[in-house]
A and B are shown apart, each in its own frame.
Chain A
Amino acid sequence: MDDTLLERLDILVTSGQITDQIRRYVLQKATSFASEHGIELTEGNAGSFITHFAMACARIGRGEPVVEIPASVQEVADRHLDLVEVARTMFPFDASTITGAEVGFITMYLCVLLGRES
């Protein structure tokens, strides 16, 4: 994993935007997904994903999930229903607290990581 990805998470912790617990959770989940699929996490392919995932965990944890999702992102998610199920299990929260929009965003990032979408 690029040092820059670790630095991103450190900045989010230092500035109080995420907890160290979220930092560790995101690292574990992202690393596990990458390892499972033979992907190397770099700044180029995972910078936005890591940041988004961490911030999503923080806002869902606060009870403030995003509810709006652009049609273009929803269309990507609809094309990859297998990854929708993976995305749904990425969060460390009860499924009832996670919106379809949050799942859709993560689905899109997983698609990009796997090279299914550009």
Chain B
Amino acid sequence: MTIRIAIGGLKKEVTERVTKEIGGDKVSVIVTSDFEAAKKIKSGQADYYFGACNSGGGAALSVPIGILGYSNCATVAKAGGKPKAEDIEKLVAGGKIAFGMAVESIEAAVPMLLHSLFKKHNLE
């Protein structure tokens, strides 16, 4: 199985690089906008969304929330905060499919997200 990840928001190139470095052949990456990414998930063309914004306060995730619903989305790191692996694991296990983060947390949050996704999908 390959996990299909749609990447949107700001600093997409950083999110893409980290996702590919950590994910290797376990992931396929689609780099697009938050808007198109959410639509791809809704139509079954992607499995998960990773998106970053400067504040982590909603802009990276607000359009996906509008398209996919609050219950499917979660912010994993706000500006000034640090992502926590155990929290991310709970969110992934709980069925969240769209994840927002502050740009400064991309390098820390994306590996945590991927490891949680690999665990969930038995790809470790």
Contacts and interface: CB of A to CB of B under 8 A. Distances in A.
Given A4-B35, A66-B79, A68-B78, A73 B67 contact: no
A11 B54 contact: no
A105 B54 contact: yes
A3 B117 CA distance: 35
A51 B54 contact: no
Interface string A16-44: 01000000000000000000000000010
Sorting the interface of chain B by its residue count into under 10, 10 to 19, 20 to 34 or 35 or more gives 20 to 34
Contacts of B63: 8, 11-12, 51
A111 interface: no
12 contacts: A7-B35, A11-B66, A47-B35, A48-B59, A52-B55, A52-B59, A55-B57, A56-B59, A59-B58, A67-B80, A69-B79, A72-B104
Contact of A48 (B9, B69, B102): B9
B28 interface: no
Contacts, number: 70
Interface string A61-81: 000001111101100000000
Contacts of B62: 12, 17, 51, 54-55
A96 interface: no
B103 interface: yes
Closest 7 CB pairs of A and B: A68-B80, A11-B66, A15-B66, A52-B59, A68-B79, A55-B58, A66-B55
A45 B105 CA distance: 23
Given A43-B33, A70-B54, A51 B65 contact: no
Which of B9, B63, B65 has the most chain A CB atoms closer than 10 A to its own CB?
A: B63
B33 A66 contact: no
Contacts of B69: 15
B74 interface: no
Nearest to A67: B80
A101 interface: yes
Nearest to A65: B57
Given A4-B35, A47-B35, A66 B65 contact: no
B34 interface: yes
